[in-house]
Amino acid sequence: MCTDSAIYAVTQFLTDIGVPFELLRHAPVVTTEESRQVIHVEGCMSCKSLYVKDKKSDRYYLVVLPFDKRADMRGLASYVGCAKFEFATEDKLYEDLHVHRGSVSPFAFLNEHGEYRAPLLIDREVWTAPKVKFHPCDNTATVILSSDGLKKFLSEINKQVIVVGG
């Protein structure tokens, strides 16, 4: 999806399923630290999303963590019975989710195609936060929604969710 159509697809889907959200437009941001500085929203969890794969298979996963939490690739992999994760290639990220690094978020699941659907591993802090924010598959905008809204989105797309961490 291209920029405006990606943003439209995400916001239209949220509207169609009755999930309230706020859309903020801004200069492009690539890192979570840039995003946190440009789009600071009081009481809202800043998140990072990582597309990873099991080192020994072709199974892929989307991992969502608080922006400042280190990704323990062995620990995260253990939740799905794998030894260790590694980052997916940029080509694979685009092939599977039609986004580039810096624009990855759970909203990219709207772009999944084919038989395999990547499970979501989401940190408990993100899962229980009052509000969360993610790029709508484009790093020039941010969608802010409640965690209940995120849960409804994931339920509507029938996404397998695995809550990880303490």
Q: Residue 85 is encoded by which pair of tokens?
A: 């994760």
Greater confidence (112 vs 33) lies with 112
Mean model confidence pLDDT for the chain: 91
Q: 87 has which bridge partners?
A: 52
- CATH number of the domain that residue 30 is part of: 3.90.960.10
Confidence of residue 127 (pLDDT cuts 50, 70, 90): very high
Rounded CA gap, 10 and 153, in Å? Answer: 10
Query: What is the domain extent for residue 156?
Result: 3-164
pLDDT of residue 1: 43
Residue 166: pLDDT over 70: no
Tell me what the mean pLDDT of segment 2-13 comes to. 86
pLDDT band at 2 (very low <50, low <70, confident <90, very high): very low
The DSSP code sequence of 76-115 is HHHTTT-S-EEEPPHHHHHHHHS--TTS--GGGGGG--SS
Q: What is the mean pLDDT of residues 107-120?
A: 90
pLDDT for residue 161 is more than 90:
yes
Q: Cα-flanking dihedrals φ and ψ of residue 52, to 5°?
A: -130, 165
pTM, two decimals, is 0.92
- Give the mean model confidence (pLDDT) for residues 80-100: 93
CA 97 to chain centre: 11
Q: Where are the alpha helices (DSSP H) in 17-89?
A: 32-38, 73-78
The predicted structure's pLDDT at residue 105? 95
Q: Which residues of 126-147 are buried (b: 16+ CB within 10 A; e: fewer)?
A: bbebebbbbbbbbbbbbbbbbb
